[in-house]
Every structure is written in structure tokens, then in C-alpha cells.
Amino acid sequence: MWQQAINGVFLGAIYALFAVGYALVFGVLDILNLAHQAVFTLSAFVALAFVAEGNMPLAIALPVSLLAAGLIGIGLERVAFRPLRGRSDSNISGLISSLAAATILEAIALQIWGPDVQRFPQGTFPDKPLHVLGATVSALQLTIISVSVVLMAALTAVLRATRLGRQIRAVAESPRAARILGVDVDRVIAWSFFLSSALGGAAGVLFGVAFNSVSPDMGRSVELKGLAVIILGGMGSIAGAVIAGFALGLLEVLTVVQLGSSWRDAVSFGVLFLVLLVRPSGLLGKAAIREA
């Protein structure tokens, strides 16, 4: 029982970390960034490249990849989102634009690294099993859980206690009001993308390490989980994404145990459609469901 809980928390930590990125950008820009999963994937590849070819220890490769992901995020915002701001159809064109960017990033990954699954070289991470409360946890799992939690806590700290965080929250509330109050909205949005993509990238590296598998389509499988998480948690809510992320991880592990692994993905779909049917605003959602 404990074992499943640990596995669930482990999986959920990665889902939560990934989904928080969606929530942050949606909260600020009111647009779903469908390129988030491509940043997730690219970041894993970057980390792999640094470790496998650059002989960098993972502990250094992770923050480097995080930085790279954040920079890709800024580029993404500049190229695919900023030019569309102010257009009357910015919601749908933002979705399409992010899809286009995702496609481009995927093509690049596919061209450079090919379609096959790649693995981290031997000895990249410690694999000592530990015994906690009668369950077997690997040092890797614990590390991943800790890193995820630390990053999410760091984001929360930024949002609550720093000036940038207050500005981000102001822009999320109302860009017009924030601008009147003197906030540099462009800069704030760029920072939001940086933070969002850095976290998404971190999730990618952790995911790649957790399952020792990096491939150009890994983002695709997690994208849907991430979307299910933010629907469950409420589209613009970071706290919701965290709670729902862990919830989904636990739910998924429990389902696999009870029903078998071919049902694993059914959980996210089930959650997704159920929430849309019954309570589209999710657990902590603030976004208006219907315009009129």
C-alpha cells in the first residue's frame, strides 16, 4: 500500500511540475501553450546531450537544461505569442501558433536525434534502494520527488514574496489595470514564459531520468496528462495544478495496480472528460467558463 503511495507521489510530482507551467502561462495570458510539451522533450534531450557527450554530471546538467528551457520559452513567447497580442482572435490563433511552434521544435529534435528512444549512460544516477516504512524507494525516486517539490515551492515563493511575483499576479488579474499601475507587461509575460518553460523543462529531464527514456514523442504522452491535470485543478490555478498533479499520479498508479497497465492512460482521459461534464471550472478554477 505504502509502495503504491510512493510510486503515485513520484509520478504525481512530475505531472504537477509539468502542469504548473501550463497553469502559469494560462493564468497570465489566457492562452493554452501547446508548445509546452515540446520544451519538455527538448529539455530532456539537452540534458541527455550534456551528460552523454559533455560528460557533465546530472546535478549540473539539470540546472543548465532548466536555463536552456527557460530561454526557449522566452523565444517562444517572442516569436509565437507576442505578435498575436491584441488580435481579436488571439485565443484561437494563439493555440494554432503554439501548435506550429511545437511542430517546429519536434521536427528539430527528430532531425538531430532521430525517432528512437535514447537512454542515459550507465551510472548517470545513483540507484540505491532505500527502505522507508516498509516500502522500497530508490534514491532516484526520492531525488526526483524532492527536486520537483523544491522547484514548485520556489515558484510559489517567487509568486508570493517577490516584486516580480506580485506583478505576475497583477497581470494575471488584469493586464490593463497592471499597465496603468506601471507594470511592464511585456517583461512580466516574458518572465512568466521563462519560469513556465524552465519548470516544464525540469519536468522533462526528471521524466527522462525517471524512466531512463528520451524520445521525440515523449512530450506527447505527457501532454494529455498535463491537460487533464489543469482541467482537474482549474485552468489558471497553480495550486490546483499541484494538487491535481499529485492526485492524478496516485490515481494512475492505483488504476494500474487494480486494472492492469493498459488502463493507465484511460485514467487521464476519464478524469478529463468527467470534469468537463460535471464541473468544467475544476477544483480551484477561476476562469469564466462561458463568455455569455
- Please say which residue, 96 or 257, places its beta carbon nearer to another protein: 96
Q: Is 118 among the residues that bind another protein (CB under 8 A)?
A: no
Q: How far is the CB of 93 from another protein (least distance, A)?
A: 6
Among residues 132, 153, 259, 276, the one that binds another protein under rule CB under 8 A: 276
**Amino acid, single-letter form, for residue 208:** G
129-132 own/partner pairs: CB under 8 Å, 24+ apart: 132/6
Burial of 64 (0-12, 13-18, 19+ CB in 10 A): middle
- Please say which residue, 122 or 262, places its beta carbon nearer to another protein: 262
Q: Is 90 among the residues that bind another protein (CB under 8 A)?
A: no
- Please say which residue, 103 or 146, places its beta carbon nearer to another protein: 103
Among residues 14, 228, 243, 247, the one that binds another protein under rule CB under 8 A: 228
Total residues in contact with another protein, by rule CB under 8 A: 51
Q: Is 85 among the residues that bind another protein (CB under 8 A)?
A: no
**Amino acid, single-letter form, for residue 162:** T
Q: What is the DSSP letter of 127?
A: -
Q: How far apart are CA 265 and CA 268, in angstroms?
A: 6
Considering only residues 230 to 259 of the shown chain, the ones binding another protein according to CB under 8 A are 231, 235
Among residues 17, 102, 199, 267, the one that binds another protein under rule CB under 8 A: 102
Q: Is 220 among the residues that bind another protein (CB under 8 A)?
A: yes
> Considering only 51-59, 141-149, 151-159, 221-229, which stretch makes contact with another protein by CB under 8 A?
221-229
Among residues 111, 122, 131, 258, the one that binds another protein under rule CB under 8 A: 111
Phi then psi dihedrals of residue 133, to 5 deg: 50, 40
Q: How far apart are CA 91 and CA 29, in angstroms?
A: 9
First to last CA, the chain: 47
Q: How far apart are CA 79 and CA 73, in angstroms?
A: 10
Helix crossing, 36-52 with 218-233: angle to 10°?
130
Among residues 227, 232, 250, 267, the one that binds another protein under rule CB under 8 A: 227
Q: Is 133 among the residues that bind another protein (CB under 8 A)?
A: no
Radius of gyration of the chain (CA): 19
Q: How far apart are CA 292 and CA 288, in angstroms?
A: 10
Contact pattern for another protein over residues 141 through 180, marking x by CB under 8 A: ----------------------------------------
Among residues 3, 4, 91, 118, the one that binds another protein under rule CB under 8 A: 91
205, 124 in Cβ contact below 8 A? no
222, 231 in Cβ contact below 8 A? no
Question: How many C-beta atoms lie closer than 10 Å to residue 283's C-beta?
Answer: 17
Q: Which three cell numbers stand for residue 235?
A: 485552468
Q: Which residues sit at the interface with another protein, rule CB under 8 A?
A: 31-32, 79-80, 83-84, 87-89, 91-93, 95-97, 99-108, 110-111, 115, 220, 223-224, 227-228, 231, 235, 262, 265-266, 268-269, 272-273, 276-277, 280, 287-292
